[in-house]
Chains A and B, each alone.
Chain A
Protein backbone atom coordinates (compact mmCIF):
# COMPACT_ATOMS: atom_id res chain seq x y z
CA UNK A 1 0.00 0.00 0.00
CA UNK A 2 2.80 2.32 0.95
CA UNK A 3 4.49 1.49 -2.36
CA UNK A 4 1.33 2.28 -4.27
CA UNK A 5 1.07 5.68 -2.61
CA UNK A 6 4.74 6.33 -3.42
CA UNK A 7 4.14 5.44 -7.05
CA UNK A 8 1.13 7.75 -7.26
CA UNK A 9 3.07 10.59 -5.65
CA UNK A 10 6.01 10.04 -7.98
CA UNK A 11 3.77 9.96 -11.04
CA UNK A 12 2.26 13.27 -10.05
CA UNK A 13 5.73 14.69 -9.40
CA UNK A 14 6.98 13.54 -12.80
CA UNK A 15 3.97 14.97 -14.64
CA UNK A 16 4.45 18.27 -12.83
CA UNK A 17 8.06 18.34 -13.99
CA UNK A 18 7.02 17.71 -17.56
CA UNK A 19 4.46 20.51 -17.39
CA UNK A 20 7.12 22.83 -16.05
CA UNK A 21 9.16 22.35 -19.21
CA UNK A 22 6.36 23.79 -21.35
CA UNK A 23 6.29 27.29 -20.03
CA UNK A 24 6.35 30.75 -21.52
CA UNK A 25 8.63 31.68 -24.36
CA UNK A 26 9.78 35.20 -25.16
CA UNK A 27 6.78 37.08 -26.57
CA UNK A 28 4.10 35.10 -24.72
CA UNK A 29 1.70 36.97 -22.47
CA UNK A 30 2.06 35.92 -18.85
CA UNK A 31 -0.81 35.21 -16.51
CA UNK A 32 -1.55 37.44 -13.56
CA UNK A 33 -1.98 35.78 -10.16
CA UNK A 34 -3.56 36.41 -6.83
CA UNK A 35 -1.22 34.99 -4.23
CA UNK A 36 -0.78 35.43 -0.50
CA UNK A 37 2.21 37.54 0.50
CA UNK A 38 4.32 37.55 3.63
CA UNK A 39 2.58 40.84 4.55
CA UNK A 40 -0.60 38.79 5.05
CA UNK A 41 -2.36 40.24 2.01
CA UNK A 42 -3.06 38.75 -1.39
CA UNK A 43 -1.36 40.46 -4.32
CA UNK A 44 -1.63 40.58 -8.08
CA UNK A 45 0.12 42.55 -10.82
CA UNK A 46 -3.19 44.26 -11.63
CA UNK A 47 -3.12 46.23 -8.39
CA UNK A 48 0.14 47.99 -9.28
CA UNK A 49 -0.65 51.32 -10.90
CA UNK A 50 1.51 52.78 -13.65
CA UNK A 51 3.86 49.81 -13.84
CA UNK A 52 6.11 49.86 -16.92
CA UNK A 53 6.95 46.21 -16.35
CA UNK A 54 7.22 43.49 -13.76
CA UNK A 55 10.24 41.58 -12.48
CA UNK A 56 8.88 38.16 -11.50
CA UNK A 57 11.44 36.09 -9.58
CA UNK A 58 10.68 32.53 -8.56
CA UNK A 59 12.79 32.02 -5.45
CA UNK A 60 12.53 30.37 -2.06
CA UNK A 61 13.96 30.09 1.43
CA UNK A 62 15.97 26.87 1.42
CA UNK A 63 17.97 27.04 -1.82
CA UNK A 64 21.58 28.23 -1.41
CA UNK A 65 21.40 30.04 -4.75
CA UNK A 66 18.25 31.86 -3.67
CA UNK A 67 20.00 32.89 -0.47
CA UNK A 68 22.99 34.20 -2.39
CA UNK A 69 20.66 36.41 -4.40
CA UNK A 70 18.54 37.83 -1.56
CA UNK A 71 20.59 41.00 -1.18
CA UNK A 72 20.79 41.46 -4.93
CA UNK A 73 16.99 41.13 -5.23
CA UNK A 74 16.54 43.75 -2.50
CA UNK A 75 18.91 46.04 -4.43
CA UNK A 76 16.96 45.47 -7.66
CA UNK A 77 13.72 46.52 -5.97
CA UNK A 78 15.41 49.62 -4.52
CA UNK A 79 16.72 50.57 -7.93
CA UNK A 80 13.79 49.70 -10.19
CA UNK A 81 10.53 49.99 -8.23
CA UNK A 82 10.63 53.78 -8.46
CA UNK A 83 11.30 53.51 -12.17
CA UNK A 84 8.15 51.46 -12.66
CA UNK A 85 9.58 47.96 -12.59
CA UNK A 86 8.65 46.33 -9.28
CA UNK A 87 10.12 43.03 -8.14
CA UNK A 88 7.61 40.32 -7.26
CA UNK A 89 9.12 37.22 -5.67
CA UNK A 90 7.16 33.96 -5.71
CA UNK A 91 8.03 30.82 -3.74
CA UNK A 92 6.93 27.93 -5.99
CA UNK A 93 7.98 25.05 -3.73
CA UNK A 94 5.69 22.60 -1.98
CA UNK A 95 6.59 22.99 1.72
CA UNK A 96 5.89 19.28 2.18
CA UNK A 97 9.10 18.69 0.20
CA UNK A 98 11.09 21.10 2.36
CA UNK A 99 9.71 22.59 5.57
CA UNK A 100 11.99 25.63 5.18
CA UNK A 101 9.78 26.75 2.29
CA UNK A 102 6.56 26.92 4.32
CA UNK A 103 4.57 30.14 4.34
CA UNK A 104 5.40 30.71 8.02
CA UNK A 105 9.11 30.37 7.28
CA UNK A 106 8.72 32.79 4.38
CA UNK A 107 7.24 35.36 6.77
CA UNK A 108 10.19 34.88 9.13
CA UNK A 109 12.77 35.21 6.34
CA UNK A 110 11.08 38.29 4.88
CA UNK A 111 11.28 39.96 8.29
CA UNK A 112 14.89 38.88 8.99
CA UNK A 113 16.06 40.27 5.66
CA UNK A 114 13.61 43.22 5.58
CA UNK A 115 12.41 42.24 2.13
CA UNK A 116 11.26 45.41 0.34
CA UNK A 117 9.31 43.45 -2.29
CA UNK A 118 6.24 41.22 -2.23
CA UNK A 119 7.22 37.67 -1.32
CA UNK A 120 4.29 35.54 -2.44
CA UNK A 121 3.45 31.89 -1.92
CA UNK A 122 2.36 29.81 -4.93
CA UNK A 123 0.00 27.81 -2.73
CA UNK A 124 -1.09 24.71 -4.63
CA UNK A 125 1.65 25.29 -7.25
CA UNK A 126 -0.72 26.67 -9.89
CA UNK A 127 1.41 29.55 -11.17
CA UNK A 128 4.99 28.31 -11.66
CA UNK A 129 4.07 25.57 -14.18
CA UNK A 130 2.31 28.16 -16.35
CA UNK A 131 5.44 30.30 -16.39
CA UNK A 132 7.63 27.27 -16.91
CA UNK A 133 9.86 28.01 -13.98
CA UNK A 134 12.07 24.99 -13.30
CA UNK A 135 14.38 26.23 -10.58
CA UNK A 136 15.08 28.89 -8.01
CA UNK A 137 16.00 31.60 -8.67
CA UNK A 138 14.33 31.87 -12.09
CA UNK A 139 13.48 35.31 -13.48
CA UNK A 140 10.73 36.39 -15.89
CA UNK A 141 10.80 40.04 -16.95
CA UNK A 142 7.45 41.24 -18.27
CA UNK A 143 6.57 44.50 -19.99
CA UNK A 144 3.54 46.53 -18.93
CA UNK A 145 1.24 44.38 -21.08
CA UNK A 146 2.67 41.34 -19.25
CA UNK A 147 4.47 40.15 -22.38
CA UNK A 148 7.53 38.04 -21.47
CA UNK A 149 10.68 39.94 -22.47
CA UNK A 150 13.47 38.10 -20.69
CA UNK A 151 13.82 34.68 -19.01
CA UNK A 152 16.72 33.41 -16.98
CA UNK A 153 19.32 34.48 -14.49
CA UNK A 154 19.81 37.71 -12.56
CA UNK A 155 23.48 37.93 -13.50
CA UNK A 156 26.38 35.73 -14.57
CA UNK A 157 27.87 34.93 -11.19
CA UNK A 158 25.76 33.51 -8.38
CA UNK A 159 28.61 32.74 -6.08
CA UNK A 160 30.50 35.98 -6.16
CA UNK A 161 28.62 39.25 -6.55
CA UNK A 162 31.96 41.08 -6.85
CA UNK A 163 32.98 39.05 -9.89
CA UNK A 164 29.92 39.72 -12.03
CA UNK A 165 30.74 40.52 -15.64
CA UNK A 166 27.22 40.73 -17.00
CA UNK A 167 24.10 41.90 -15.18
CA UNK A 168 21.69 40.08 -17.50
CA UNK A 169 18.48 41.19 -15.79
CA UNK A 170 19.47 44.85 -15.32
CA UNK A 171 20.65 45.02 -18.93
CA UNK A 172 17.30 43.58 -20.01
CA UNK A 173 15.34 46.10 -17.91
CA UNK A 174 17.41 49.00 -19.26
CA UNK A 175 16.90 47.82 -22.84
CA UNK A 176 13.16 47.36 -22.27
CA UNK A 177 12.93 50.81 -20.70
CA UNK A 178 14.81 52.36 -23.60
CA UNK A 179 12.69 50.52 -26.17
CA UNK A 180 15.74 48.66 -27.40
CA UNK A 181 16.24 45.02 -28.32
CA UNK A 182 17.07 42.87 -25.32
CA UNK A 183 20.20 40.81 -25.77
CA UNK A 184 20.41 38.11 -24.53
CA UNK A 185 16.69 37.40 -24.09
CA UNK A 186 17.35 34.14 -22.29
CA UNK A 187 20.16 32.98 -20.03
CA UNK A 188 20.81 29.97 -17.84
CA UNK A 189 22.15 29.45 -14.37
CA UNK A 190 22.41 26.56 -11.95
CA UNK A 191 19.57 26.48 -9.48
CA UNK A 192 17.59 24.28 -7.15
CA UNK A 193 14.87 22.31 -8.93
CA UNK A 194 11.39 23.38 -7.90
CA UNK A 195 10.06 20.88 -5.40
CA UNK A 196 6.78 19.12 -5.95
CA UNK A 197 5.30 16.12 -4.18
Chain B
Protein backbone atom coordinates (compact mmCIF):
# COMPACT_ATOMS: atom_id res chain seq x y z
CA UNK B 1 0.00 0.00 0.00
CA UNK B 2 2.79 2.34 0.99
CA UNK B 3 4.51 1.66 -2.33
CA UNK B 4 1.33 2.45 -4.24
CA UNK B 5 0.93 5.76 -2.44
CA UNK B 6 4.58 6.60 -3.09
CA UNK B 7 4.19 5.69 -6.75
CA UNK B 8 1.08 7.83 -7.12
CA UNK B 9 2.79 10.74 -5.37
CA UNK B 10 5.80 10.52 -7.64
CA UNK B 11 3.71 10.18 -10.80
CA UNK B 12 1.74 13.23 -9.75
CA UNK B 13 4.94 15.21 -9.29
CA UNK B 14 6.30 14.13 -12.64
CA UNK B 15 3.10 15.12 -14.44
CA UNK B 16 3.13 18.53 -12.83
CA UNK B 17 6.74 19.43 -13.46
CA UNK B 18 6.12 20.74 -17.00
CA UNK B 19 8.44 17.97 -18.17
CA UNK B 20 11.38 20.03 -17.00
CA UNK B 21 12.61 17.51 -14.48
CA UNK B 22 12.22 13.80 -14.97
CA UNK B 23 11.97 11.92 -11.71
CA UNK B 24 13.68 8.53 -11.52
CA UNK B 25 12.08 6.46 -8.81
CA UNK B 26 14.59 3.64 -8.95
CA UNK B 27 18.33 3.72 -9.27
CA UNK B 28 18.28 0.92 -11.86
CA UNK B 29 16.20 2.97 -14.24
CA UNK B 30 18.52 5.95 -13.76
CA UNK B 31 21.66 3.84 -14.11
CA UNK B 32 20.48 2.37 -17.43
CA UNK B 33 20.07 5.79 -18.91
CA UNK B 34 22.98 7.73 -17.46
CA UNK B 35 25.75 5.55 -16.04
CA UNK B 36 26.07 2.36 -18.03
CA UNK B 37 28.62 2.43 -20.90
CA UNK B 38 27.24 3.65 -24.21
CA UNK B 39 28.20 2.78 -27.73
CA UNK B 40 28.74 6.32 -28.94
CA UNK B 41 31.26 9.16 -29.01
CA UNK B 42 29.45 11.37 -26.55
CA UNK B 43 31.12 12.45 -23.33
CA UNK B 44 28.78 12.73 -20.38
CA UNK B 45 29.50 14.92 -17.39
CA UNK B 46 27.20 13.73 -14.61
CA UNK B 47 27.07 15.84 -11.47
CA UNK B 48 25.15 14.86 -8.32
CA UNK B 49 23.85 17.88 -6.45
CA UNK B 50 20.89 19.35 -4.57
CA UNK B 51 19.45 22.83 -4.08
CA UNK B 52 20.08 22.53 -0.33
CA UNK B 53 23.77 21.76 -0.86
CA UNK B 54 25.65 25.07 -0.79
CA UNK B 55 28.95 23.88 -2.36
CA UNK B 56 26.93 22.14 -5.09
CA UNK B 57 25.03 25.30 -5.95
CA UNK B 58 28.28 27.29 -5.99
CA UNK B 59 29.82 25.08 -8.68
CA UNK B 60 26.76 24.89 -10.98
CA UNK B 61 27.84 27.92 -13.10
CA UNK B 62 31.04 26.08 -14.10
CA UNK B 63 28.98 23.16 -15.40
CA UNK B 64 26.71 25.57 -17.22
CA UNK B 65 29.67 27.33 -18.80
CA UNK B 66 31.22 24.04 -19.93
CA UNK B 67 27.88 22.85 -21.27
CA UNK B 68 27.71 25.92 -23.50
CA UNK B 69 31.38 25.85 -24.50
CA UNK B 70 31.27 22.20 -25.52
CA UNK B 71 27.74 22.16 -26.93
CA UNK B 72 28.96 21.35 -30.45
CA UNK B 73 31.69 18.95 -29.27
CA UNK B 74 29.58 15.99 -28.27
CA UNK B 75 29.75 16.76 -24.54
CA UNK B 76 26.58 16.59 -22.50
CA UNK B 77 26.18 17.83 -18.96
CA UNK B 78 23.59 16.15 -16.77
CA UNK B 79 22.79 17.52 -13.33
CA UNK B 80 21.32 14.81 -11.10
CA UNK B 81 19.37 16.44 -8.31
CA UNK B 82 19.06 14.59 -5.02
CA UNK B 83 16.42 17.02 -3.82
CA UNK B 84 13.43 15.44 -2.19
CA UNK B 85 10.70 14.51 -4.68
CA UNK B 86 8.11 16.43 -2.67
CA UNK B 87 10.05 19.66 -3.22
CA UNK B 88 10.29 19.51 -7.01
CA UNK B 89 7.51 22.06 -7.48
CA UNK B 90 8.17 24.18 -4.45
CA UNK B 91 11.93 24.33 -4.67
CA UNK B 92 13.70 22.66 -7.58
CA UNK B 93 11.71 24.09 -10.52
CA UNK B 94 11.75 27.65 -9.12
CA UNK B 95 15.51 27.29 -8.55
CA UNK B 96 16.09 26.18 -12.17
CA UNK B 97 13.93 29.02 -13.47
CA UNK B 98 15.60 31.63 -11.28
CA UNK B 99 19.13 30.52 -12.17
CA UNK B 100 18.10 29.96 -15.79
CA UNK B 101 19.89 26.60 -15.89
CA UNK B 102 20.21 25.19 -19.39
CA UNK B 103 21.88 21.85 -18.66
CA UNK B 104 19.74 18.75 -18.44
CA UNK B 105 18.39 18.18 -14.95
CA UNK B 106 16.86 14.98 -13.63
CA UNK B 107 15.91 13.92 -10.13
CA UNK B 108 16.93 10.63 -8.55
CA UNK B 109 14.36 9.77 -5.92
CA UNK B 110 15.50 6.30 -4.84
CA UNK B 111 15.77 6.69 -1.06
CA UNK B 112 17.52 3.35 -0.44
CA UNK B 113 20.88 5.04 -0.89
CA UNK B 114 22.96 2.30 0.72
CA UNK B 115 21.93 0.01 -2.12
CA UNK B 116 23.15 2.28 -4.93
CA UNK B 117 25.95 4.61 -3.75
CA UNK B 118 28.61 1.96 -4.42
CA UNK B 119 27.14 1.35 -7.88
CA UNK B 120 27.81 4.97 -8.81
CA UNK B 121 31.36 4.48 -7.56
CA UNK B 122 32.76 2.39 -4.69
CA UNK B 123 34.98 5.35 -3.72
CA UNK B 124 31.98 7.60 -3.08
CA UNK B 125 31.39 8.29 0.63
CA UNK B 126 27.87 9.61 0.04
CA UNK B 127 28.72 13.30 0.41
CA UNK B 128 27.75 15.62 -2.43
CA UNK B 129 28.74 17.12 -4.78
CA UNK B 130 30.35 14.45 -6.93
CA UNK B 131 31.13 14.47 -10.64
CA UNK B 132 31.54 11.66 -13.16
CA UNK B 133 33.08 11.95 -16.60
CA UNK B 134 31.89 9.15 -18.84
CA UNK B 135 32.79 8.21 -22.37
CA UNK B 136 32.18 4.74 -23.71
CA UNK B 137 33.61 2.39 -21.09
CA UNK B 138 35.83 5.07 -19.57
CA UNK B 139 34.76 6.54 -16.25
CA UNK B 140 36.40 9.11 -14.00
CA UNK B 141 34.96 9.83 -10.57
CA UNK B 142 35.62 12.87 -8.38
CA UNK B 143 34.26 13.52 -4.91
CA UNK B 144 35.23 17.17 -4.66
CA UNK B 145 34.06 20.72 -5.19
CA UNK B 146 35.04 22.66 -8.29
CA UNK B 147 36.13 26.25 -7.86
CA UNK B 148 36.58 27.33 -11.50
CA UNK B 149 35.39 26.30 -14.96
CA UNK B 150 39.04 25.70 -15.83
CA UNK B 151 39.37 23.14 -13.05
CA UNK B 152 36.32 21.31 -14.35
CA UNK B 153 37.57 21.48 -17.91
CA UNK B 154 40.95 20.06 -16.84
CA UNK B 155 39.22 16.98 -15.46
CA UNK B 156 37.10 16.69 -18.59
CA UNK B 157 40.24 16.71 -20.74
CA UNK B 158 41.73 13.87 -18.68
CA UNK B 159 39.44 11.50 -20.57
CA UNK B 160 41.43 9.60 -23.15
CA UNK B 161 40.01 10.15 -26.59
Q: Which residue of B lies closest to A168 (CB)?
A: B114
**Contact between chains at A191 and B112 (CB < 8 Å):** no
Q: Which residues of A contact B125 (CB under 8 A)?
A: 21, 134-135, 188
**Contact between chains at B126 and A134 (CB < 8 Å):** yes
Q: How far is the CA of A21 from the CA of B122 in the complex (A)?
A: 13
**Contact between chains at A190 and B117 (CB < 8 Å):** yes
How many residue pairs at the A-B interface have CB separations less than 8 Å?
74
Q: Which residues of A contact B82 (CB under 8 A)?
A: 190
**Residues from 126 to 161 in B contacting A, C-beta threshold 8 Å:** 126-129, 143-145, 147
Tell me whether B95 is interfacial, beta carbon within 8 Å: no
The smallest C-beta distance from A78 to any residue of chain B, in angstroms, reads: 25
**Contact between chains at B84 and A192 (CB < 8 Å):** no
Tell me whether B118 is interfacial, beta carbon within 8 Å: yes
The smallest C-beta distance from B102 to any residue of chain A, in angstroms, reads: 25
**Residues from 123 to 159 in A contacting B, C-beta threshold 8 Å:** 134-135, 152-153, 156-159
Q: Which of A10, A13, A189 meets B117, CB within 8 Å?
A: A189
The smallest C-beta distance from B121 to any residue of chain A, in angstroms, reads: 11
Q: Which of B2, B54, B126 meets A135, CB within 8 Å?
A: B126
Q: Which of B53, B118, B145 meets A188, CB within 8 Å?
A: B118
Q: How far is the CA of A14 from the CA of B2 in the complex (A)?
A: 43
Interface residues on B, range: 20 to 34
Give A103-136 as 1s and 0s: 1 = Cβ < 8 Å from B's Cβ atoms.
0000000000000000000000000000000110
The smallest C-beta distance from A125 to any residue of chain B, in angstroms, reads: 15
Q: Which residues of A contact B124 (CB under 8 A)?
A: 188
Tell me whether B20 is interfacial, beta carbon within 8 Å: no
Tell me whether A194 is interfacial, beta carbon within 8 Å: yes
**Contact between chains at A195 and B55 (CB < 8 Å):** yes
Tell me whether B28 is interfacial, beta carbon within 8 Å: no
Tell me whether A193 is interfacial, beta carbon within 8 Å: yes
Tell me whether B52 is interfacial, beta carbon within 8 Å: yes
Q: Which of A6, A166, A189 meets B126, CB within 8 Å?
A: A189
Q: Which residue of A lies closest to B115 (CB)?
A: A156
Q: Which residues of A contact B6 (CB under 8 A)?
A: 163
Tell me whether B26 is interfacial, beta carbon within 8 Å: no
Q: Which residues of A contact B52 (CB under 8 A)?
A: 63-64, 192
**Contact between chains at A14 and B144 (CB < 8 Å):** yes
Q: How far is the CA of A187 from the CA of B117 in the complex (A)?
A: 9
Offer 25 A-B interface pairs, CB within 8 angstroms, sorted by A: A10-B147, A13-B145, A63-B52, A64-B84, A134-B127, A134-B143, A135-B125, A135-B126, A152-B114, A153-B113, A153-B126, A157-B112, A158-B113, A159-B84, A163-B2, A163-B6, A188-B118, A188-B124, A191-B128, A192-B127, A193-B128, A193-B129, A194-B127, A195-B54, A195-B55
8 additional contacts (CB under 8 A) given A134-B126, A165-B112: A17-B144, A152-B114, A153-B113, A156-B114, A187-B114, A189-B117, A190-B82, A193-B145
Binding site for B on A (CB under 8 A): 6, 10, 13-14, 17, 21, 63-64, 97-98, 134-135, 152-153, 156-160, 162-163, 165-166, 168, 187-195
**What are the 5 A-B residue pairs with the smallest beta carbon separation, nearest first?**
A135-B127, A193-B127, A134-B125, A188-B117, A188-B126
